[in-house]
Amino acid sequence: MKLRFWHAAAISCFCLAGILRAETIAVSDPFADGRRLFEEKKYEEALTKFQKALEYLPHDPTILSWVGAADMQLSRYSEAEQALKEAVERGGTSYKFFELLAASQAHQSKWDAALATVRKYREVGPDDEKKENEEKLRTLEIALHLEKRLECLRREPPDRACADTELDAAWQLKPTDPAQHVSFTQIWMSKGLAEKDPARKAEFYAKAETAARSWVASAAEADRVRARIALGTVLVRQKKFDDAIPVLAEASKVDPSNCAIRLELARAHLGKEDFEQAKAAASGVIDCHADESQGYLLRATAEYGLEDCRSVIKDGAEYVKRSPGKEEPKFVVYCRSVIDSQRAEADRQKQAEDYKKWVRQQLEEGDKAVEESINKKPKHNGKKQDDKDSKPDEKDHRQ
């Protein structure tokens, strides 16, 4: 962003032709030649002509600004700054002079000097021109604050207080540039994720939501899905699940195979305890990216809500396998204990049933043995008793 912005500021010098005074053009053939050579991108030759023109009008702000513009194109930022500062000091009040001066200072990482240049223009610039260029001026000032913020963070050790001061200063300017909406969304989201204090975290997420909504409103068609994903994500982080789901669903219509959308939808449905929808969204994440550990974790969470501990254990294992150094989530451990308890109970019940079956079998075998004993005919030795009993006593008969 930095190089494109400052390069665009340098190129804008082509517009300087519109502010030339007629008398300057009349007496400055070298100057006219310099402009032509500049437009042909022959910057060294153009610079020579501009310097020649300064011999006729030594302190002319317009010619000095073109000298500065040529130096900028030749990456001679220090020389460009000197020429442009003189142009301003000699009475130049055009926005273009100040924009180029700030750009030359930015290329040298002179953020405070560049911000001072912007403030100076706000003091001396013509009211009509300031009003006309207010949006560009604000965008430039925000960009300078954000660049200085990065410099604060690059210090050893990072100067976070300085970085926060610059971020707040930039935010208070109320950005309107779409690219800056993207930057602010990402910055506030990052700060919200890192913040431990709940109140500060909520503040950062609220600012991220504001930036993301502005991004959605100003995004080009090609970037609208990314903007909606960002907005949906920050809404989920704030537990605004009812707001997040339609935003993400709208993005999904445009890009139905987007894994990031499915991931945030799974989180939003989980937040609403709609476990079936959450499981479906998480399964979609796994379908489009089989190694996405969060997909397995979210699906396991949904399955836990559905009281499907066997599936929880399976997806929990997949999550751990894809997340080196991560411990098994507590709810997965709990499900393992539940399954182990169920197995122990099942084993206990099976043992009880087996014992009852064995007892019944023993009783049945005992009954059978008794029945067989009752029905069994006894064995006798010698003559049959019934023959003896059936014959009358001959002695008695004779009597």
Dump pLDDT digits (tens) for 41-55.
999 999 999 999 999
377: pLDDT confidence band, cut at 50, 70 and 90? low
Token readout for 178 is: 């779409």
Residue 259 and residue 289 in contact, taking contact as beta carbons nearer than 8 Å: yes
pLDDT recorded at residue 88: 94
Residue extents of the structural domains in the chain: 1-138
| Averaged pLDDT for residues 87-116 | 95
99: pLDDT confidence band, cut at 50, 70 and 90? very high
Query: Which long-range contacts (C-beta less than 8 Å, at least 24 apart) are formed by 213-217?
Result: 214/175, 214/181, 215/178, 215/181, 215/182, 215/185
| Averaged pLDDT for residues 226-250 | 97
Summary mean pLDDT of the chain: 87
CB crowding 13-34: b at 16 or more within 10 Å, else e: beebeebbeeebeeebebbebb
CATH number listed for the domain at residues 1-138: 1.25.40.10
Decide if pLDDT at 226 tops 60: yes
pLDDT recorded at residue 395: 46
29: pLDDT confidence band, cut at 50, 70 and 90? confident
Dump pLDDT digits (tens) for 155-200.
999 999 999 999 999 999 999 999 999 999 999 999 999 999 999 9
Token readout for 69 is: 């513009």
For 174, left (φ over 0), alpha (ψ -120 to 50), or beta? Answer: left
| Averaged pLDDT for residues 254-270 | 94
Token readout for 67 is: 């000298």
Decide if pLDDT at 365 tops 70: no
pLDDT recorded at residue 353: 73
